[in-house]
Amino acid sequence: GWNMENILDEEIKVINDTVGPEEHVICALSGGVDSTVAATLVHKAIGDRLHCVFVDNGLLRYKERERVMETFENPEMKRKIIGKEFISIFDAFAHELEKKLGRKPTYLVQGTLYPDVIESCPPPGSGKTCSHTIKSHHNVGGLPKDMKLKLIEPLKLLFKDEVRQLGRILNVPDAFLKRHPFPGPGLAVRVLGDVTEGNALDILRQVDEIFIQAIKDAGLYDSIWQAFAVFLPIRSVGVQGDQRTHSHVVALRAVTSQDGMTADWYYFEHKFLDDVARKICNSVRGVNRVVQDITSKPPSTIEWE
């Protein structure tokens, strides 16, 4: 039957049938739910022949102005560029391992989920076209064609709530399982347009931290699927003291959802929103306006890009 224990046994079997007894595997680990559960599962199957790599991209690469700015303005391009960066890091990691182990790792484990695959249609390399690409998730449509490692994606047929169930069976700690989803391309898809704009990433980190901390303090974190801030590529007029300001606008987004395929925007109490907005404008330099996103998915998506 289609229950989690069976899926777990089945996936472990698939991995053991796929990866030869001498073969090594590397895993892209973000610390989030999906890749953590995927890694735990693969580790259960092949033990120490799994080598995990965590990429702290810090998004620094975007500060490299020489990258064609226009490409950053296209969300699909952002995802492709990031997918490519990830893979070149994994290739380098694989190369280091080869020196250590005397053989190349053959496979790459990723925590790809079913919705990533559906929304990234067409499947990469399939040669098919598709009328409904919503987003090429960085780990699906964003992967370069010349990648040398073969993919292992044990969660590919599961939705997030199912991954959490599976993680529970694997004794993955709640701290991982309850974490809000965070997209692979990171804050790049939350800075609309040019990621290199001013100190957008810096502002976004500060705003996000205030918002998430307030949500945790109010005991709301576990009732929300995902909450974050978006940096808008516009400035608006404000007043601080007796000074006119012309500063950035940030949007707050929080949604509830079962699986990320559809979502409802979350109703905060007015007092909560008021406190958060004041705190942001008072403590984050360069922000003088806070707005809230009150659309659901559909018609919007959860992220803004």
Binding site for ATP, by residue number, is: 30-36
Tokens of 141: 């449509």
Among 105, 154, 184, 193, binds ligand XMP (CB under 6 A): 184
Is position 57 an interface residue for ligand XMP (rule: CB under 6 A)?
no
Residue 63: helix, strand or coil by DSSP? helix
| Sign, Cα dihedral of 220, 115, 92, 82 | negative
Is position 214 an interface residue for ligand XMP (rule: CB under 6 A)?
no
Interface map 253-272 toward ligand XMP (x if CB under 6 A): -------x------------
Q: Could you give the residue ranges of the DSSP H alpha helices within 133-269?
A: 160-169, 174-177, 200-217
Min dist CB 185 to ligand XMP, Å, is 5
Among 80, 135, 253, 289, binds ligand XMP (CB under 6 A): 135
Give the angle 271-273-276 at the CA atoms, nearest 5°. Answer: 110
- In the bound state with ligand XMP, the residue whose beta carbon lies nearer, of 51 and 137, is 137
Among 79, 164, 190, 248, binds ligand XMP (CB under 6 A): 79
- In the bound state with ligand XMP, the residue whose beta carbon lies nearer, of 24 and 135, is 135
- In the bound state with ligand XMP, the residue whose beta carbon lies nearer, of 23 and 303, is 303
Min dist CB 101 to ligand XMP, Å, is 29
How many CB atoms within 10 Å of residue 305? 19
Among 110, 185, 251, 276, binds ligand XMP (CB under 6 A): 185
Among 44, 61, 104, 297, binds ligand XMP (CB under 6 A): 297
How many residues interact with ligand XMP (rule CB under 6 A)?
A: 17
Among 138, 164, 190, 253, binds ligand XMP (CB under 6 A): 138
List beta partners, residue 230. Answer: 251
Answer whether 32's CB lies under 8 Å from 182's CB.
yes
Residue ranges at the known binding site: 30-36
Residue 256: helix, strand or coil by DSSP? strand
- In the bound state with ligand XMP, the residue whose beta carbon lies nearer, of 46 and 155, is 155
Is position 226 an interface residue for ligand XMP (rule: CB under 6 A)?
yes
- In the bound state with ligand XMP, the residue whose beta carbon lies nearer, of 245 and 301, is 301
Among 183, 191, 289, 290, binds ligand XMP (CB under 6 A): 183
Min dist CB 266 to ligand XMP, Å, is 14
Is position 301 an interface residue for ligand XMP (rule: CB under 6 A)?
yes
Buried b (16+ CB within 10 A) or exposed e, 96-119: ebeeeeeeebbbbbbbbbbbbbeb
Tokens of 284: 């984050």
250 Ramachandran zone, left/alpha/beta (phi>0; psi -120 to 50): beta
CA distances from 91 to 19, 101, 112, 149 (A): 18, 15, 19, 8
- In the bound state with ligand XMP, the residue whose beta carbon lies nearer, of 91 and 303, is 303
The answer for residues whose C-beta is within 8 angstroms of residue 235's C-beta and 6 or more apart is: 246, 247, 248, 249
Min dist CB 305 to ligand XMP, Å, is 8
- In the bound state with ligand XMP, the residue whose beta carbon lies nearer, of 256 and 301, is 301
Give the angle 221-159-31 at the CA atoms, nearest 5°. Answer: 55
Rounded Cα distance between 253 and 227, Å, is 6
Residues that bind ligand XMP (CB under 6 A): 79, 119, 134-135, 137-139, 181, 183-185, 226, 260, 297, 301-303
